[in-house]
Amino acid sequence: MEKKWIYALEELGKEHLDLVGRKCANLGEMTKLGMRVPPGFAISVDGFEEYMRATGLGARIASYFDSKGQDLRKSVRSQMDASRAAKEMMAETHLPDEMADAIVRNYEALCSRFCTKDMPVAVRSSGAVSMPGQMETYLYVRGASEVLSRVREVWESTFNTRAIAFRLEKRMPVDKAPIGVAVIRMVNARSAGVILTVLPTTGDTDHAVIEGNWGLGESVVSGDITPDNFIVNKSSLAIEPHVSTKTRWVVSTERGTTKADVPQHLRNAPCLEDREILELVRISVNVEKHFGVPQDMEWVIDRDLPFPENVIWVQARAAKYTPPRKEADNDYILDQMTRLFRQ
């Protein structure tokens, strides 16, 4: 294959959305902004398409979908059947050696950068268009063969029933999906969580809010526990801490992650030091300035690295929030002023 289809994150930026998908483009952009992100590489949309083409899998799936014709459009059952059939065809179809070698070479290069063998990585889907059911994330993937099968599983997720239904509904080709894959070093997470540079319920942009827990970030995002909450004034940097009792966390295992009880001595202790909080605020405010809109960012504190190298970012996107009351009020006034002239 002539065309390049694997990229280091440092090569990427937000302009590469269509090439490598949103997740990878985003990580690349964050790298450009000088943020510490876990090192890794991206498999572009072309990689998926080459796999489908070189193995003949694409043609087989397309003809299968064609044979179903209008049934596929009408019945959920036949969409479920199609999903199962496509995934079975994929499971039987190995990567061409040349492609498998390329992925393994890149993984091993990443391992050797950290002088470890079988270094744990996260394998994440990176869609160029956001599509339901297509958000596969595999944590603590260890070893080359495991990486290869997880990459293929990410690709398989484009044939989830919901993803198929979505493409049918949007009148997109059913047998194709623009999907990239991110393979990044797993951070040995001491704590993790999110920071928003706006208070989402009030639209207050003078403050940032951090939520975090011990262990991996999944426990915070899933909403299973009440995380620690820190509200920070973005100009005075005054911290208002709300430390909660954290009973459960997500930790790594030999083959992935699991939920577990938080050790007693950590339950009521804040999961972040003040200097870490301030570092999170400092960087997120810079990112907010760069993009011009409030940010919603995911962070991890690495257990093995010293401060401030231990502050690592895995996600940055525009925050969703209720516009400030004042803005909503002004909009209401503008609407009413306009209506005045209709009397």
Give the residue with the Cβ less far from another protein, 114 or 332: 332
| Residue 265 or 326 having the CB closest to another protein | 326
Q: Per rule CB under 8 A, is residue 336 in the interface with another protein? A: yes
Contact 180, 42 (CB under 8 A): yes
> What is the rounded (10 degree) CA torsion for 29, 35, 39, 42?
-10
Among the residue ranges 46-54, 239-247, 283-291, 328-336, the one whose residues contact another protein (CB under 8 A): 328-336
Using the contact rule CB under 8 A, the part of the chain among 7-15, 163-171, 234-242, 325-333 near another protein is 325-333
Question: Does 202 interact with another protein (rule: CB under 8 A)?
Answer: no
Q: How many CA atoms lie within 13 A of 99 on its CB side?
A: 24
The smaller minimum CB distance to another protein, of residues 130 and 330, is found at 330
Q: CB-wise, 70 or 338, nearer to another protein? A: 338
Residue closer to another protein (CB basis): 169 or 341:
341
Stretch that binds another protein, among 13-21, 123-131, 161-169, 326-334 (CB under 8 A): 326-334
Distance CA(57)–CA(62), nearest Å, equals: 8
Does 343 help bind another protein (rule: CB under 8 A)?
yes
- Measured CA to CA, the distance from residue 157 to residue 46 in angstroms comes to 16
Asked whether position 342 contacts another protein by CB under 8 A, the answer is yes
HSE of 60, CA atoms in CB hemisphere, 13 A: 15
Which residues, other chains included, contact 309 with Cβ-Cβ below 8 Å and sequence gap of 6+? 36, 302
**Is residue 307 involved in binding another protein (CB under 8 A)?**
no
202/309 Cα distance (integer angstroms): 33
Q: Is 201 in the site for another protein (CB under 8 A)?
A: no
Q: Give SS3 for 180.
A: strand
Does the protein bind another protein through residue 340 (CB under 8 A)? Answer: yes
- Alpha-carbon distance 182 to 178, whole Å? 14
Q: Name the residues that contact another protein, by CB under 8 A.
A: 325-326, 328-330, 332-338, 340-343
